[in-house]
Amino acid sequence: MSTGSFPGGKARLGGRIALLTILTLALGLVVVMSSRSDAVVGERVTFVNSTGETLWIGAGESADGSRPITGLPVLRPGESATIVIPDDGRPGHWRGRFFARQRCSGEPGSTFRCLVGDCGVHPDRCERGAEPVSLAEFNFDQHNSGAPWYNVSYVDALSLTITIETPGGPPAPVAGTCVRWDCSGGQLLAACPEAHAVIDPQRGDRINCVNPERDSESAYTAALRPFGPRAYLWSTHDRVPGNETVLSCPGCADFVVTFRGGGAPVRRPPGRPPRPSRCAVTRANASTCPAASPPTVPDCSSGGATTARPNGSRTAPTGP
């Protein structure tokens, strides 16, 4: 090799190094962009009405930049509808809750009101927080590797039984009675202490059970806990060892929220005559109404059922 050719070779080597550096940086950019594009956005939530009455779906978002959801469905018995979560773009997350409004009437935008879960005068959206009601809570977060997080909450009240399923997620490891996260046997509302029960003044049936002590265990939690609902019963329930209140399904894009009736009338022991039905329990007169017989608690241990968390975790780093 002549000394005259060395400078040119050195220049070519330097050019190759520069090109390699550019390609490496470009590849890194592609990898980063690819990893971001692989994140699930626009998750879908399907609502199923398994009750015997019409439901108006309500939603409330956290005050952290999460965008309001409008165009919420009205579901007749047996109907279902799907919405898309608005977590694309900034801020890259949506945190909030869904619930069922019941026994609504009135002129939309003017006199529209709901007996349970009332949140404003619009059938397809909420303009304020709901009255105490059962909640399905979610945390969709593009920056959280464990997200989506989700849970059912009866902390404020129990109106309807709620279950959340992830049809596209990993299957539960063990099938059994409680695989749907509802061991209530349809008796949760029937188990509500009479002092906390809310009665429809026109129909005379129970429509809600309001928790007066949301931050601690109480007669409310004691009445519901034997049924084993995988749900928050009080605000710090997730701190109890072995609790199964919060679940996560990383990468899941589809969720099914099913609303079921809270329960039939309270069952009476054999031979006991029916109680008078003239006492409509409200928060104002609850102390004057006679106590009800407790409903039968179903056996949730049959069928080999065990804890079946769908790719879940019992503790979320941030609440939904």
Measured distance CA(41)–CA(195) in Å, rounded:
44
Is residue 209 over pLDDT 80? yes
pLDDT tens, 122-177?
Answer: 999 999 988 999 999 999 999 999 999 999 999 999 999 999 998 877 654 433 33
| Strand 44-50 relative to strand 254-260, pairing | parallel
Q: Which two tokens stand for residue 263?
A: 């329960």
pLDDT band at 49 (very low <50, low <70, confident <90, very high): very high
* pLDDT score, position 261: 87
Q: How far apart are the first and last CA of the chain?
A: 70
Q: Which fold has domain 41-268+276-304?
A: Thaumatin (2.60.110)
Is residue 277 over pLDDT 50? no
Is residue 191 over pLDDT 60? yes
Q: What is the pTM of this model?
A: 0.71
Q: What share of the chain in percent tops pLDDT 90?
A: 52
pLDDT band at 273 (very low <50, low <70, confident <90, very high): very low
Alpha carbon of 41 to those of 3, 12, 143, 159, 195: distances in Å? 60, 45, 11, 31, 44
- DSSP letter string over 149-163? EEEEE-SSEESSEEE
Is residue 116 over pLDDT 70? yes
Higher pLDDT, 315 or 90: 90
